Chains A and B, each alone.
Chain A
Amino acid sequence: DAGVIQSPRHEVTEMGQEVTLRCKPISGHDYLFWYRQTMMRGLELLIYFNNNVPIDDSGMPEDRFSAKMPNASFSTLKIQPSEPRDSAVYFCASSRPLLSLGYPSGANVLTFGAGSRLTVL
């Protein structure tokens, strides 16, 4: 199991450019989350999907941000146009339910990727 895979690990771009961040969740996980982390605001939930369907995008800061999950093994977070205040580390996470004695326990664990560090100049 390679874990949650994110790309690129680092991205430096100029203001106004389009940025696309990619995520491959762990196979079999049916929830996918996008988080953003900055020093000022900490770890913020942007959007999450269940079975490829967006469930809650209330954390998406504005219309410049969009996320898609075309299939169970791939998701993108796009920023267009990018601005310097979008500079942050973006994390993708996927979730699996935990079993207890072979039955769903009701608990879930998030596994995070290594993150994509975005710098917008």
Chain B
Amino acid sequence: DAKTTQPPSMDCAEGRAANLPCNHSTISGNEYVYWYRQIHSQGPQYIIHGLKNNETNEMASLIITEDRKSSTLILPHATLRDTAVYYCIVRGRSGGYQKVTFGTGTKLQVIP
């Protein structure tokens, strides 16, 4: 699976958009980008995923660059409950191989 690089920490004012970047310059054509988050002391929670098109769901939006070497997770109106560690993961389409490894993520602090 492709390696990802994320900033270790970010701050965001409550009510503002939080934009969390992820670099995955070695991504291959069949690999998805996934985002998870982990709120303190809870298990990681799936947020969104994408292949090459931008995606949006009730939690967030995912913007993937045209060359697919980086992506940005957008929380449109951050709340205090969005304070968490956000993990960007890149991995291939399902088949026989399902190993999923997490890096160190970005610790997002939403400030009142």
Task: Give chain A's interface residues, CB within 8 Å of chain B.
Answer: 4, 31, 33, 35, 42-43, 45, 48, 50, 55-56, 89, 91, 93, 95, 97-98, 104, 106-115
Contact B49 A107 (CB under 8 A): yes
Contact A43 B42 (CB under 8 A): no
CB-CB under 8 A from B102, the residues of chain A are: 35, 42-43, 45
Chain B's interface size range is 20 to 34
Say how far B101's CB is from chain A's closest CB, in angstroms. 6
Task: Give chain B's interface residues, CB within 8 Å of chain A.
Answer: 30, 32, 34, 36, 38, 41-46, 49, 51, 87, 93-94, 96, 98-104
Task: Report how many A-B pairs have Cβ atoms within 8 Å.
Answer: 60
Closest to A108 in B: B94
Q: Is the interface of A mostly helix, strand, loop or mixed?
A: strand
Say how far A103's CB is from chain B's closest CB, in angstroms. 12
Contact A108 B43 (CB under 8 A): no
